[in-house]
A and B are shown apart, each in its own frame.
Chain A
Amino acid sequence: MAQKAKDKKMLNIKKLFHSRQTIRGKLLFWLLIISLVPMAVIGFVSYNYSSSSLQHQSFEQLETTLAFQYQALQRYFDDQAKKLENIASNMEVFQEEAYTKLSAIRALQKKQIQDYFKIRFEDVKIFGQNPQQQQAFSQLLQNADTEPNSEFVEFLDEWLMNRDFASLTMLNQDGEVVYSTDKNVPRGATVHEGTSEWEAMQKGMLETRFIDYRPSSFHELKNVAYFSTPLFSADQPPSLLLFRLQDHALDSIMKEVPGLGETGETYLVGMDGMFRSNSRHFDEPTIANPSFLVDTESIVYALAGEDGETSVVNYRGDSVLSAYTAVSIYGVTWVLMVEINQAEAVIPKLEDGKTDLLSQLAQTYTFSDLYLVAPDGYIFASAKRHKDYLTNILTGPYADSMFNKAVQEVLETQKMAISDYAFYEPAGGQAEAFMAIPVMNDDAMSMIVALQISIDPINDIMKIRQDFEKESGQAEMEGHVEMIHVDTYLVGSDKLWRSEAFNPEKYQAKSTLLNPKVKADTKAVQQALAGKSDTQVIVNSLGEKALTSWSPVRYKGLQWALISEVAQKEVDRPVMQLLRIVGLLAFLAAIAVIFISLRVAGGVTKQVDEIMQGIAMVEKGEYGQQVKITSKDELGQMAGSFNQMTTTIHDLIESRQQEHDELQDSIIRLLEEITELADGDLSIRATVTEDVIGTLADSLNLMLEELGTAFVRIKQSAEQVGSTANILSASTGELAGQNNNQANMINEAVQEINQLTKAIREAADQANQSASFSRESSQVAGEGAKAVRETSQAMEAIRGNVQNTARSIKRLGESSQEISDFARTINEISDRTSILALNASIQAAAAGEEGRGFAVVAEEIQRLAERAAVSTRQIETLIKNILGEITEAGISMDSSIQEVVQGTQLSQNALSRLDEITERSNEVFELIQGVASASQQQADTTAILATSMGEIGSISLETAEEAMGASVSMQEMAVMGDDMLQAVATFKLESDKKDPDNDVLEADPFDA
């Protein structure tokens, strides 16, 4: 039993969830809904609100961090730029000072050189004019074999040595050596053309001259310079004295110049690019040495007469500051160059003598390195002197580095430039960026100052994110500190990182800096590189959703993206915990609701079941059953009311049964009385009782009374109708006779009208005949017009044909003209052929015997051309004749056309006249037509009149016949009234019972 009860309960519970028709099920369902839905809504709203608030707060803090880092980056780069500008301006100042010094030295040296040569010039001049020297040399001239005495030779040697002359050579006017202090110059040796001796002879025979360095006639492969002076004597032809300048003559002036430091020097250069002095940097003499050539631009400027200062790469390949000027020496122009190495000029040594300014600046400002670069790309100074020192950054081994790019940009724009970070080998493969600025000298760039920037300051700036984490990233839960990790980083335009990540392992790399495996190509990076700033939830480079704030970082040439992001799941962690708590509470609430609803539903449904059972019994008809009352609530009250209802129904049924029996007896009695009534006895009356049937009997009795009264009235009326019918029959007989007379009179009238109609028809026929004659005349006029029209059309056709003929003739003329043009072309061709033949014959004649055959051909061609010309002339004549005749034909055609036009005009006039005749005929025809139709109408009208009269006659006859018929009907009506009286007499009335001998009275015919 218990098991069964348990199973039953289980079944009920199952039903509860399967079927919603039970109260229990509905109650359970709606209670669950009412309790759980609000909880879900509250939970959902709370989640969204808290999630968005948290997100909003995170965004704000991300943006703040981003802004701070952006400012820090800007400040850093501005700071570096300012330092660089300061250094550059210092370099500029040093450079200016160096140029000033060089200019002063240049002026001083120029004066010294000019003074020196002036003195030598005077010495030579005086020597040549000295009578003793003249006499001594004259003797040599007279006798070629004579040797000068030893005293004279000694004197000469000393004189020459004191004046920096290497030798003295005497030439006669023929260019032969008469005497020379140089043993390598033999007597009798002749001067060669193009040598310095030869030039001396060309220029120096009249006055003292200075001869620039040239190849020598007497010293093979050597360039020499002379002072030359003529030697005149009374009895001898003039001769020439050549004083050769010592190679080291100017050393004392050029080599020892204070203030030029270790690398500075001064030197002279001739127009041929060769030295005119010895260099302090070479032991080998550079003077007039073709192995040492100077071809810098400053030589050209100086020879053009300009004095100037510039930075150049000198003959040794060094970047130097140079001051140049031209020095004129008795018609010879040399260039004086004063130079010092650029590095030595702008980078002074410090007091210790070991460290230079560049190194100190690099140390002070913690630059990775500090460079000075020449405009051609040569790194001539470096603080750290790594592998790139003294290389060319534009063409050297590091030409593909960012340093090169920065230097190139400075060269192009002449403004400060910055390059992006890249690994730089001279810096040990570290990531370095470069910032460079030009140093100008009079609108020309003299050098570039560049500094090398390490990545460390950038990483330091990016570490600002840790502060953010400390401020807002912590969330304590059950004693654990949850850190929200924010990544802030820089990305370059190549999508590579420009900073180190907080946790590179997250990106599966040891380092994120410039690592191609850790490319950041997200929406944030793309937008930031495009110049946009925003804060959104996007997918980051790890593929997870992240709250990201980004902004571009632009500094001169740098184009970076600054990204700050935090993973969404980390931000949402507290919200998720809240969601879990809410979920647990909702679950517990659901269980409680189910339990309570089951309990409540159970109590409600028991009473309802009892009531349902009671209703089932009532359906079967058992009204005596009472329902068990199990509760005292509304359902219990409902059960009590149900019991009362069933008791009342039972009593009511019994009383009704009794009333039914009584009623049935009354009905039987009434039926018996109605049977008697059906037999015709209208005097019978039904028994009236107190029930419903009594009412029915009473009504029946009333009906019988009314019916008796009606039958009496009918009887009286029938009698009246019989008498009236007899009187009417007599009257209608008389009416019929009068109608016949009327009909005879109408017939006579109709005959008269018919005769009138006939006369009118004859008049209409005559009018029709007139109309037909008129129509015929109109037709004839129309045919005449038609004939004239056809004539006009024929003439038009003739005119058209004539015009076509004229056109054909014109075309013929044009064709003839074309033929004439062709003939002209043929004529030209024959003309040209003739010329060709003429040329051919001329050429054949010039060729002589070999051209004879060709001459024959040419003659033949010429004959053919002449024949063609003759034929074309005949054709032209014929065509002219044809054209003349065509013109005449055209003229006659035109006159024919004119006559045709006139004929057409006349026929048009005749046509218009005929049209008028036709029109008038038509009008006459219409008038006659109108008269005929009017006559016809008159005839028709009289015919109709006759017909109408005939109908009137026939109607009168009909009327008479009908009157006769009515009389007959009246007689029949009288017969019917008699029949009705007989029919009524069969019913027995109550009045008959009272007076049985009462006869039927005659009705008054005027009674209504």
Chain B
Amino acid sequence: MRDKKKKSLKGQAKTVALSLDAEQIKGRDPVLLFTASQIDEVLADAEVHPLPFAANHLVGLCAWREQVLPIIDLVAFFDLIPSQKDKNERYVVVRTVDSTLLDTNKDNKEKQNTNKVVLRCVLKVSNQIISGDIPTECTAVFPKQAGFAPVFLKGLFQGEKKLFLLPDLATIIHSDVQGSTT
């Protein structure tokens, strides 16, 4: 039996752009950028269960496929200014991989064991969701310049009309502080 040739997928990765319901940053609309494999589902309707005494960016919890996931509003997390337009919000289930250490003794390098854990959360975004190719015509921006804490972003790129944010969801989920530098 001949082996099937695996075609290279380099340069053909699909992305999903999720617009945020926020005012423009540096004259551009803020958009979250994820790979298609990171998006599990766009929810048609989500039953939000609020959490008392939770942080502002934690909207609540919702049930998804026998799991309980936190709902995170990145507009509140990054302390952006919410948009004044009519709000048509969507909830998107996003996953990420988190690496955790078994051995808490970090000095003992020989005996460190790492384990990768899949984390999921629900992001509250606008109804502008576009699936397409990687936007190649954009330039990198240092997060602090745009008012973002670098630790929470894997990357920040500005295009002609949009500002693409690549959030580090694992860090955001584990964090108990806000993600802006202000």
Contacts and interface: CB of A to CB of B under 8 A. Distances in A.
A139 B39 CA distance: 76
A838 B131 contact: yes
Given A832-B44, A835-B42, A839-B41, A845 B7 contact: no
A53 B36 CA distance: 115
Contacts of A835: 42-44, 90
Which among A831, A842, A849 has the highest number of chain B CB atoms within 10 Å? A842
A848 B6 CA distance: 11
Contact of A838 (B15, B35, B42): B42
Contacts of A649: none
B42 A845 contact: no
Contacts of A845: 14-16, 36-37, 131
Interface string A832-855: 100110110111011011000000
A451 B111 CA distance: 78
Interface string B1-37: 0000001010010111000000000000000000111
Interface in B101-131: 129, 131
A846 B9 contact: no
Nearest to B41: A839
A842 B9 contact: no
A841 B131 contact: yes
Interface in A892-925: none
A842 B43 CA distance: 13
A841 to B, nearest CB: 5
A839 B14 contact: no
Interface string A820-840: 000000000001100110110
Contacts of A846: 14, 35-37, 39
Interface of A is mostly: helix
Nearest to B129: A838
Interface residues of B, number: 17
Contacts of A841: 131
Interface in B51-70: none
A842 B39 contact: yes
Nearest to A852: B12
Interface of chain B, helix or strand or loop or mixed?
strand
Contacts of A836: 44
Interface residues of A, number: 13
Interface in B129-170: 129, 131
A836 B35 CA distance: 18
Nearest to B14: A845
B86 to A, nearest CB: 14
Interface in A783-840: 831-832, 835-836, 838-839
Given A838-B42, A838-B131, A841-B131, A849 B37 contact: no
Given A838-B129, A842-B16, A842-B131, A848 B41 contact: no
A835 B45 CA distance: 10
Contacts of A832: 44
A848 B42 contact: no
A832 B41 CA distance: 13
A589 to B, nearest CB: 113
A856 to B, nearest CB: 13
Contacts of A848: 9, 12
Contacts of B39: 842, 846
A842 B41 CA distance: 8
A836 B129 CA distance: 12
Contacts of B12: 848
Nearest to B37: A846
A841 B36 CA distance: 9
A842 B42 contact: yes
Nearest to B15: A845
**Chain A CB within 10 Å, residue with most, of B9, B41, B90:** B41
A849 B129 contact: no
Contact of A849 (B7, B15, B16, B41): B7
Contacts of B14: 842, 845-846
Contacts of A843: 36
A848 B10 CA distance: 11
Quick one: which of B14, B15, B37, B43 has the most chain A CB within 10 A? B14
Contacts of B37: 845-846
A839 B42 contact: yes
Contacts of B15: 845
Contacts of A842: 14, 16, 36, 39, 42, 131
Contacts of A838: 42, 129, 131
A835 B127 CA distance: 9
Contacts of B90: 835
B127 to A, nearest CB: 8
A843 B7 CA distance: 19
A841 B131 CA distance: 7
A838 B35 CA distance: 14
A843 B93 CA distance: 13
Contacts of B35: 846
Most buried by B among A832, A835, A843: A835
A839 B90 CA distance: 13
Interface in A249-284: none
B9 A849 contact: yes
A845 B36 CA distance: 6
**Sorted from nearest, which 8 A-B pairs have the closest CB atoms?**
A845-B14, A845-B36, A846-B37, A846-B36, A841-B131, A842-B39, A832-B44, A835-B42
Given A838-B129, A842-B14, A846-B14, 6 more contacts: A832-B44, A835-B42, A839-B41, A842-B42, A845-B15, A845-B36
23 contacts: A831-B44, A832-B44, A835-B42, A835-B43, A835-B44, A836-B44, A838-B129, A838-B131, A839-B41, A839-B42, A841-B131, A842-B14, A842-B16, A842-B39, A842-B42, A842-B131, A845-B16, A845-B37, A845-B131, A846-B14, A846-B35, A846-B39, A848-B9
